[in-house]
Amino acid sequence: MLNSRKGNAKKGFTLIELMIVVAIIGILAAVAIPKFAGLINKSKEGSTKGSLGAIRSALTVYYGDAEGRYPTDNLASIQPHYLTTLPNAKVPQLTGAAADSNAVSAASTAAYVTNAGGWAYANDYTESAWGTLVVNCTTTDSKGTLWTSY
């Protein structure tokens, strides 16, 4: 019986074909990884903005119950009656700052934003910004808006 060349042909991929596939996967990864990192930052921004709204809502209810007065402490008086716990502010990684923190920097209007992460609250009733709560971060979000402008 004669051996035909068709029956002895080995099946598989050549080295060139494998190298092309690896190169295509590398290109796709180079495009996808930065997009993924951007989505993670946007989800953190959305979470922080939602948490900011929840704390502001609790402050508004406190304001109504206290007959027109905001808390003069570091927001400890709104817990646990108005808000069980303060949620974390997920701000960009800052030098020396806690990235995910629920710490409240409470001070007079002139110095209540310290760029230390967490929340900044103006607790001085003699100032015009009394009761103002912002994210304690002076950098910008993914759209170029300052965190303290929310």
Per-residue pLDDT of 83-135, as tens digits, reads 888 888 887 665 444 567 777 877 765 567 777 778 888 888 887 788 888 88
Do the domain assignments include residue 12?
Answer: no
Number of domains in the chain: 1
Query: Would you place residue 3 in the very low, low, confident or very high pLDDT band (cuts 50, 70, 90)?
Result: low
Do the domain assignments include residue 5?
Answer: no
Q: Does 27 or 40 have the greater pLDDT score?
A: 27
Do 143 and 128 meet the contact criterion of CB atoms below 8 Å apart? no
Sign of CA dihedral 83, 50, 93, 27: positive
**Average pLDDT value over all residues in the chain:** 81
Do the domain assignments include residue 4?
Answer: no
Sign of CA dihedral 72, 73, 74, 80: negative
pLDDT at residue 95, rounded to an integer: 47
Do the domain assignments include residue 118?
Answer: yes
Domain that holds residue 86: 17-149
Residue 20: pLDDT above 90?
yes
Do the domain assignments include residue 98?
Answer: yes
Do the domain assignments include residue 9?
Answer: no
Do 123 and 130 meet the contact criterion of CB atoms below 8 Å apart? yes
pLDDT at residue 121, rounded to an integer: 87
Do 141 and 126 meet the contact criterion of CB atoms below 8 Å apart? no
